[in-house]
Every structure is written in C-alpha cells, then in structure tokens.
Structure 1
C-alpha cells in the first residue's frame, strides 16, 4: 500500500478489542475506520465507527487478538490510543448482533474465481449526503483477479457511503471492476429497515436495464476488465418515467406472486381475469358479473413502479400492449372506495 496516510498496526491485547469502544478523542487525526485483509475475498474489509457492527467482507467492530489492521491518517501527528476499556468479550469469529440501523449491503462476485467484494450504503443521523467522516474510503486489493465494487461520491471511491436519514431520494454512482472478464453477479447481502423505502433501483448503464432490488436481489451480467467507468447507479426513492427520474411510491410485488390484494372489501382478485398471459399484443381484462357495472380505474405499471398509462372503465376491456418491451408488468385496479388489486402479466 503506497497511499499517503496509511498505517498498519495491531491489536496489542490477548483478547478482542471493540473499535466502537475507543473514544473518538483517542483517534486523533485519523479516520474513524479500520481496514482488515480478507484472503478469502481477495479484498480488504472495512468497518466505520458507529455503523452498528456492519462492515464489508466479514469485517466488523471487533478486532481479534494480534490482528493487524490499517488506519488512515487525515492530518499531521496522527495518534491512536487503545486503552483497557476497549477490550471486548465478543469473539469476532462469530456474528455479533447489530444495532437497529438502516443500510444496504451489496456483494460483487464472478464465475471466474471465488473472490468477492462488498459495498454498503447506510443512513445515519450524524451523516450528511456529501463526503464526510462517516464515509469509508475504498482500499483497493493487490490481487489482480479479484473484483471490486464501490460507491462514488465527490470523485472519491467508497466501500461505505453514509447518507443523512433525511435523504430519501437520490442517485448513487457505482464503480464495478472485473478482476477477470466473464459473468458477474451483484447480490443484496443485507437490507435492514428498508421495507418502506420507495423504489430501490439498480441501473445498468451499459445494458440500459433497471433492476428493482426489493424484488430481484441478484443481478447477473457480463463484465470486462477493460471497462473501468461507472457502469451502475443505485437510485433511491426514484423511478424513470421514460424521460427523467422522478420520486415514486414503491409498489410491492413480493416473490412475483401472481396477484396481491390490499385492503379489499368489494373488489376481490377473483373478480378480475387477465388473458392471454403471457401476451404479445392485446391483453383482455374480464370482470365478474358482481363488479361489471362498477367504475374502475386501471393503471399499467412497470416493474419499477412507474405508471405507463391509465384509463377508467366499467365492465370488460382490453389493452394494446404490443408496443411494450418484453418483461414483467403490473396492472393496478382501483375502485371508488380506494380498494386495490395488483395483477401481474408477462409481455413476450
């Protein structure tokens, strides 16, 4: 490691120490973070103080006895004081319970070898949405065939991108580097306290693809070692309407179940039949006799929650979907009482 400010030190005690138990005042002129080598991953793991025990590549707040770790100086005369109070009874070989935090951990792997890398986006009360001390910089591996994933903030590459809890929408560029050319995967490893966060969408700029991470937790793609740009963007609280990104309300469709019924009294899933499904051109909507005279609003949604078109009708109807790209879509039915049904269909 030849970057300025990097210092390799070790845990001097015969037991583990807890990085979060070391007061910030004892971390003079250094980042509140540690980097530890993970030979299995072929990458360094990162833990940033106050993150709640969650780090990348199996690194957390606990540092094993005699474990070497890197710290980064950010000013002159750096100093780290590790007192007896920092000793921990936890064994870092075991998973430590974590605090109630909001975060997303992504892992990058390939079919070419067993190496992997991880990156985290976390929401904190004490963080800003700009580059600050709550972020964790990327320490690149010296293993040439190991993959690399990081967020990009103000031209800095981050293994952990901490955001203000007040940031409910935005776009986070990502750098994904292949160690070897071949098939790769980005997978959601952890998604904590994010069920109500609307629209969590991974955009593949190269393939012009949008992946809803609330529903598809793994995305497979081919990647070359020659591509070093920012191929991916993580969009939070936004959807693409065909022209621009807008704030959205997330439409759940867990496990791609055939239909979801939410708060329905008079409107029931069995009252509506879609055919043919899959469909190539015209999709027919057949209503049961019970609701054949009830005014209903129908909305055609993309799988990322964008409303593509809508209409109101009574009785049976049909939709021309021949112009849609192949993929999965939703129809949302709403009656005058506000009862809602979601139906899924597949466009060939």
Structure 2
C-alpha cells in the first residue's frame, strides 16, 4: 500500500478494547463512559481485519487499547496472529501495555511469538504513580516487567513527559532503564479528548528535555528505527537507546507508515484527523468478506493526509480533537 504522498504503509496499530484498568490523567477522564459490547468488534472480526491488512502488505501489527490485556480471551487473537509470524508473512506482532496484566500473560505472549513490547510507565514513585494513573499499583507493574524480562521479552518503557508531574524524574528514569536493560521513549502530551486537567499546564517540549539530559548523558543521533514515530538517540556506551516522540515540537509525519483501527472498526488514516472509514459496517454488511474489507482499506488510503496539526489551546483548554487517545489505540 502506498499513500498519496508516496509513503509505504506497512504498520497497523489495532485497538482491541477501549477499556483500561487505569485512568491516566493525560489519556482519559476519571469517569469514562466505555462502549457497549455490541459496538466493539468481536475477536473474530478483529482477526478478519488483520488478515485483510496483511494481505495488502502490512508487516507489523501492534495491539493497543485502552489496555489490550484486559480484553477477555485476548490470547486467542494473539495466538492466531502469531501463526503469521511462524509462516514469515508477518515480520512482527507486538503490543503496548500498562503492565498491570503482564505478570499473568508474559509467558503466553512469548509463546505466541511476541518478542518486544512497550510498557507505559510515567514514574517510579509510588504515590505519584497512583496520582497519575488514579487507580494503578506500581508494584504490580514492576512485577509484570520483571516477569516479561524473565521469559525473554524485550521491553521499551514509554514515558509521557508532564511538566510539574514527572519532569524531575526523567533523568532518573533513563538511569533505571539503562541499569535494567531497557530502552526509554519519551512522549509529548497530545491534545486528544476532554480530560480533567489543563494540557497547556502539562505540556513539556522534548527538545528542552533533551538539552537537560545532555548535561549528564552522552546522547548521539542513531539510525535505529522500529517503524514507529520515535527518533532515537544512542545513550553513551550503555548500548541503550532514548526515543523521542514529538507530535507538538517536531512533526514526524514525513515518515509515517501506519494506519490505526479502533476497537469499533473505525479506520483512521491519521491520529491527528477525524476522517475515518467504518470497517465494522463493511464487515457486518458483507458477512465478514475479507475482499470487501480490503477494497475499503484501499479507498481509505487515498484520503490519508500529509500531516497532523496538533495545537494546545492555553486559554480555553480545548483539545485539537474530541476523540480520546484510548479510543484511537494509543
């Protein structure tokens, strides 16, 4: 698949649920109203979508949420997709998780063929973790990370940089990751969905963070890429990498190779636009016909925009889009 700007689309980010067992402040409101079961694609429908994307050239699939591992019977989907890894049709199957269920699922994920996962972790301070996630227990997450490493999963920590909340911990988080054999990716907060705090107060430019980290760490540009939006820096002689995802301060759209599908089957050609195609309607109107889904995907691709235009409105605290990040698939 090639979009109107010549970019090869090989990466699908698929949300398997809008539900999460955390309520992170930058992601969703505390009293979120989740979708009724009938609106959410079944695991069988999700698999049909994946096979359609694979048939059109997708080589990497990332399962997201909400929290993907709270989806009932999620391992049946993971195991079925894992067969495409065994056959060499799919290059990589991975997921992004908050880590709360990793202790339970780490071994199953590895057996299914997953070798690399991202864990969202914004602080190592127990009280601050509870404040940011509202409900989370950091001990449970840390046990999950340990369990994942013990079975052989490579872990990258995703940390949203939040002014006034965890900006004083970024240096120590990098040190913790280096000591424990993990890479770290820092992410700027994005103006998606109504939340209970002012994003302008939270926003922290990663260029400023990089400048501060350079006082204690030797950071050099790296050619390493994972197919995602992060730009990577080598961290001295440690063998570890620091990723920067900068939707606000440094647009990365020129190398975009991905599409996103929500748990309700909405195909978003860009995270920063509301334009979408209803693949659930296509699936259900055509009794799960994969060719009909492929046709809809190719039609949607012709509408993929060149870039997003994220802005934070400091006066009215209005998001660029009403859609929450947890709805689009993180």
The bucket for the TM-score relative to the shorter chain is under 0.3
Q: Which has the larger radius of gyration?
A: 1
Tell me the TM-score normalized by structure 2: 0.22
Q: Which has the higher strand share?
A: 1
